[in-house]
Chains A and B, each alone.
Chain A
Amino acid sequence: GDSVTQMEGPVTLSEEAFLTINCTYTATGYPSLFWYVQYPGEGLQLLLKATKADDKGSNKGFEATYRKETTSFHLEKGSVQVSDSAVYFCALSPMNTGFQKLVFGTGTRLLVSP
């Protein structure tokens, strides 16, 4: 079945450091790929998405590129801030379901210190 694998956390960084959170997936065809973020005590918010191979999603300085050849969708940010501390979820939505049957990874906690 479809699945998403994320790197284990927590990821601990100093402010202004470079961030990479790895995400790989297993799915048939061309799923849509998403990164969601969950701040403490809140629900999930869409951070960015990509719907076809080689698409790059970007938002708030975060980027991820849909790599079909490596089945990956790694999240990157050039300079993290303390306010980026949160849990990040990679997810895929299989093709042609008529609704968004998201399959999530286990989440990666990011801790950014001043």
Chain B
Amino acid sequence: ETGVTQTPRHLVMGMTNKKSLKCEQHLGHNAMYWYKQSAKKPLELMFVYSLEERVENNSVPSRFSPECPNSSHLFLHLHTLQPEDSALYLCASSPSGADGNTIYFGEGSWLTVV
């Protein structure tokens, strides 16, 4: 138990569906992240929220839409995805401000797009 909880753990969706991934952290952190982990590729940072403001958006397609309603919750809204979007999506959180702070990851949401 890392203090970062992701739901659902597994999701299968069609290319025309709309779904959301949810992340909740119980660590009192101010920064939250979405990473994408695909086979044989390095983890890719998708979005960063610091103090509920989006501070990083790494050229992610608009079919992925993040939402951070408060410092404890982070969502990734999914619509009209492609099969190549199938991957493990990892949420993480950390304190903001100081260098070298540890990022704590959730267990991930396995997404399969059919």
Contact = CB atoms under 8 A, between A and B. Distances in A.
Interface of A: 4, 32, 34, 36, 41-46, 49, 51, 89, 93, 95-107
B56 A101 contact: yes
Contacts of B40: 106
B96 A102 contact: no
Interface string B24-48: 0000000101000000111101001
> Which one of A96, A98, A103, A105 has the greatest number of beta carbons of chain B within 10 Å?
A98
A42 B107 contact: yes
B12 interface: no
Given A98-B96, A99-B94, A46 B45 contact: no
B32 to A, nearest CB: 9
B2 interface: yes
A41 B109 CA distance: 10
What is the size category of the interface that chain B forms with chain A? 20 to 34
A6 B85 CA distance: 25
26 contacts: A4-B42, A41-B107, A42-B107, A42-B108, A43-B105, A43-B106, A44-B43, A45-B105, A46-B104, A49-B100, A51-B99, A51-B100, A98-B97, A99-B50, A99-B55, A99-B97, A100-B31, A100-B33, A100-B101, A100-B102, A100-B103, A101-B56, A102-B103, A103-B42, A106-B40, A106-B42
Contacts of A105: 42
Contacts of B106: 43
Contacts of A46: 102-104
Contacts of A36: 105
Given A43-B106, A49-B102, A99 B42 contact: no
B74 interface: no
B76 interface: no
